[in-house]
């Protein structure tokens, strides 16, 4: 028996899931230590409850799909609206090099996933789910690609598998970052390490910003306001800024709808959320660079984070765990291989390309964090290392920018390329 819930009830249940998740993250130390998002913590409990109801009474639930889609598009629009390419220039050569390293790894991650899926007798597209869709992309990208793979390519349970795989990635990324960096630091033990410090994550990022500003004052870098909001200029989210920001989101979503319709059946057909992301990038950079529009990043972040939380809560409420029975073992084999590949790549490629020094070791720990999980996991990994061995301003400058802005753009492009390969379709 299927129970259909309209938008009001869907919103109520999604909010309850978020409140439950907040309570669990506060009370369960494991969830806090591994940066498990509140909607994921609460949503997995809700998914298990739905699973039990299905086993016991044959119940399934159908939630308001349009509302979930709208929040998904708002989230990806926020990524695009935050991607100011002046930041890439401002980060300098190290940021560009690190971005290339990360982009190459996304390709490696998908090649590993697709190859092992084929060897294990699975649809190769499941390898993308156990690849950069969920590991580099995280829960948001998993929830967005899941319906596309289900409806367009017939991959049953892609959304459920994606959410489960992304959760595994968060935990794995938090577990391997520290050991990888410690191994690299021990390996170069003859080199002098920075003096020890005890900074919070916020203090570490602020210190990186301060160093950046100092370099600009000395004429050795780009203007600091090209990359960071100035901490002494507090801007409140008012009714006017809310309307302004919502207008930007509406423009991104309208662009996504128009492009999805216009390109349907053509060689450049893309999922709607990719067009929303791309529309955000275009709008952001045109407004800021040609019209000198003062983009309100804080409001964009607030709406983007809220949209992601509600989207994930609704996606997790729709989990069909019973669809994963036959996939569990082979997917775990793929994920185990992905963990080994991530550790090897961070140690042999990320570390060496970024300079084979202490900063490179901290960057390797950060790469493990968002290469398997998310940017908060990367920051937590780096904080654990710098608390023990000393600060790395370079790492705290580069990783948040790549992890929060540019990696999603690269990942979307790589995934679109892979899904167009003839032998995967």
pLDDT at 232 > cutoff 70? no
Give the separation between CA 254 and CA 279, rounded to whole angstroms. Answer: 9
Residue 333's pLDDT band (boundaries 50, 70, 90)?
Answer: very high
pLDDT at 363 > cutoff 90? yes
Q: What is the pLDDT of residues 240-273, one digit of tens each?
A: 888 989 999 999 999 999 999 998 878 777 788 8
Q: Which residues contact 254 (CB under 8 A, 6 or more apart)?
A: none
Task: Say if residues 312 and 143 touch (Cβ distance below 8 Å).
Answer: yes
Task: Say if residues 177 and 362 touch (Cβ distance below 8 Å).
Answer: no
More confidently predicted of 131 and 79: 131
Give the separation between CA 122 and CA 144, rounded to whole angstroms. Answer: 21
> For residue 324, how many other CB atoms are within 10 A of its CB?
15
Q: Which residues contact 357 (CB under 8 A, 6 or more apart)?
A: 188, 191
CA distances from 250 to 15, 276, 424 (A): 23, 10, 34
Concatenated DSSP letters of 106-142: HHHHHHHHHHHHHHTTS-HHHHHHTTTTTTTTHHHHH
- Phi and psi angles of residue 195, each rounded to the nearest 5 degrees, phi first: -65, 145
Give the separation between CA 309 and CA 174, rounded to whole angstroms. Answer: 21
What was the pLDDT predicted at 216? Answer: 40
What does the domain layout of the chain look like in residue ranges? Answer: 82-297+327-424
Residue 353's pLDDT band (boundaries 50, 70, 90)?
Answer: very high
Give the DSSP H or E segment for 358: helix 358-372
What was the pLDDT predicted at 315? Answer: 79
Concatenated DSSP letters of 13-78: HHHHHHHHHHHHHHH-HHHHHTT--HHHHHHHHHHHHHHHHHHHH--EEE--HHHHHHHHHHHHHH
Q: Which residues contact 20 (CB under 8 A, 6 or more apart)?
A: 41, 42, 45, 46
Q: Report percent pLDDT > 70 for the chain.
A: 84
Tokens 């994606």 identify what position? 162
| Nearest C-alpha neighbor of 377 from the set 389, 369, 385 | 369
What was the pLDDT predicted at 334? Answer: 93
pTM of the predicted model over 0.75: no
- Per mean pLDDT, which range of 97-111, 142-156, 215-229, 386-400 is the poorest? 215-229
What tokens were used for 329?
């073992």
What tokens were used for 150?
């289900």
pLDDT at 111 > cutoff 80? yes
């Amino acid at each position: 028996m299927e129970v259909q819930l309209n938008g009001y009830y869907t919103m109520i249940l999604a909010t309850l899931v978020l409140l439950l998740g907040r309570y669990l993250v506060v009370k369960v130390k494991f969830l806090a230590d591994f940066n498990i998002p509140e909607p994921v913590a609460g949503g997995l409990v809700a998914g298990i409850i739905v699973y039990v109801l299905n086993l016991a009474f044959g119940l399934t639930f159908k939630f308001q799909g349009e509302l979930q889609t709208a929040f998904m598009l708002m989230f990806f629009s926020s990524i695009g609206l935050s991607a100011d390419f002046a930041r890439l220039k401002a980060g300098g050569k190290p940021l560009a090099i690190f971005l290339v390293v990360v982009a190459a790894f996304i390709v490696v991650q998908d090649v590993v996933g697709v190859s092992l899926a084929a060897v294990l007798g699975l649809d190769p597209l499941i390898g993308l789910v156990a690849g950069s869709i969920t590991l580099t992309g995280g829960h948001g990208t998993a929830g967005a690609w899941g319906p596309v793979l289900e409806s367009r390519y017939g991959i049953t349970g892609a959304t459920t598998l994606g959410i489960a795989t992304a959760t595994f990635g968060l935990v794995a990324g938090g577990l391997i970052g520290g050991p990888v960096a410690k191994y690299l630091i021990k390996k170069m033990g003859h080199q002098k390490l920075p003096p020890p410090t005890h900074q919070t994550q916020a203090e570490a990022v602020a210190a990186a910003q301060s160093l950046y500003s100092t370099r600009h004052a000395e004429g050795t870098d780009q203007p600091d306001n090209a990359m960071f909001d100035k901490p002494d200029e507090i801007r409140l989210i008012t009714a006017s800024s809310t309307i302004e920001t919502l207008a930007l989101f509406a423009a991104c979503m309208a662009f996504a709808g128009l492009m999805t319709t216009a390109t349907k059946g053509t060689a450049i057909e893309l999922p709607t959320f990719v067009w929303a992301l791309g529309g955000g990038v275009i709008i952001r950079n045109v407004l800021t660079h040609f019209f000198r529009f003062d983009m309100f990043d804080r409001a964009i972040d607030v709406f983007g984070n809220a949209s992601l939380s509600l989207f994930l809560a609704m996606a997790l409420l729709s989990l069909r765990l019973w669809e994963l029975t036959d996939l569990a073992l082979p997917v775990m084999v793929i994920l185990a291989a992905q963990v080994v590949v991530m550790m090897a790549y961070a140690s042999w490629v990320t570390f060496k390309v970024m300079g084979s020094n202490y900063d490179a070791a901290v960057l390797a720990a950060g790469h493990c964090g968002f290469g398997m999980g998310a940017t908060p996991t990367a920051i937590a990994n780096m904080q654990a290392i710098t608390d023990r061995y000393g600060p790395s301003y370079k790492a705290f400058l580069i990783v948040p920018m790549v992890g929060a802005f540019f990696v999603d753009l690269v990942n979307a492009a790589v995934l679109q390329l892979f899904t167009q390969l003839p032998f995967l379709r």
